[in-house]
Amino acid sequence: MSIVSTADLKKTYQQGKVEVQALKGISLSIDAGEFVALAGPSGSGKTTLLNMIGGLDLPDSGRVIVGGNEYGSMNQSQLAILRLHKIGFVFQAYNLIPVLSAVENVEFVMLLQGVPEKDRRRRAEAILDEVGLEGKYDRRPAELSGGQQQRVAVARAIVSNPAIVLADEPTANLDSKTGQGLLEMMKEMNEKKEVTFIFSTHDSMVMDYARRLIYIRDGQVADDSVKEKMVE
């Protein structure tokens, strides 16, 4: 069953006096529970496409439908509510709040959702245990390694049980061993919790882990292939 579909997405940005066509009519469909990588070189349009799926940016033309909701028929408030409850985000730069501890960063989305404090803390600590950060609840981002910060970001993204997790270059700032550990963790969560993961990446290791690889070139889908099996 399709959880994400796009139809003829087009997006042009103005860079000074130059118009840059980031997307040139992208149409695709992603089913619930998939583990997908949007791959391609810098400037190919993959991050723009990921932002469209997340409702962080809107196309000049075309349609985006996520979980049965068509973005074009929603206002900014409705989009914000959809993002809060249905989509988890993992960013390349982690985007953790420096003054909050690991557990408080994970709790933050649930705070916005109105989850009671006792439930927030219990769920945040449980998910930090799952991502291998037991005993580090009270550490602030500056007291954690890059890999640990990214694990906090993943925990924050999935703690509220979103339907989709969007990860923009999640391994870009990590060494290969740490990146592999992060991918193993996300793969396990995809299999156990059936969360749909969509990555934007040019990291070959992420591409190896992906069950489906959608290659973007010059704002268009150049290739879309499903592998027989993922990395074991």
Residue 183, domain CATH: 3.40.50.300
In the chain, how many domains are there? 1
Tokens in use for 144? 């954690």
107-164 confidence digits (pLDDT tens): 998 999 999 998 999 999 998 988 888 999 999 999 999 889 988 998 898 888 888 9
Structural domain boundaries, residue 215: 2-95+164-226
101 located within any domain: no
- What rounded mean pLDDT belongs to the chain? 90
Q: What share of the chain is helix, strand, coil (3-state, %, to 5)?
A: 40, 30, 30
Confidence of residue 231 (pLDDT cuts 50, 70, 90): low
Which residues in 193-228 are b (16+ Cβ under 10 Å) and which e?
A: eebbbbbbbbbebbeebbbbbbbbeebbbeeeeeee
Cα–Cα distance for residue pair 111/116, rounded to 1 Å? 8
pLDDT band for 49, please (50, 70, 90 cuts).
very high
14 part of a folded domain? yes
* pLDDT (0 to 100) of residue 27: 96
pLDDT over threshold 70, residue 228 = no
Asked whether the beta carbons of 92 and 170 are under 8 A apart, the reply is yes
What integer is the mean pLDDT of 93-101?
A: 89
In a domain, 29, yes or no: yes
201 within a domain of the structure (yes/no): yes
pLDDT band at 232 (very low <50, low <70, confident <90, very high): low
When pLDDT is cut at 50, 70 and 90, the band that residue 180 belongs to is confident
**Is 41 domain-assigned?**
yes
Q: Is residue 122 part of a domain?
A: no
Tokens of 38: 């949007």
Question: Which residues does 73 contact at the CB level (< 8 Å), separation at least 6?
Answer: none
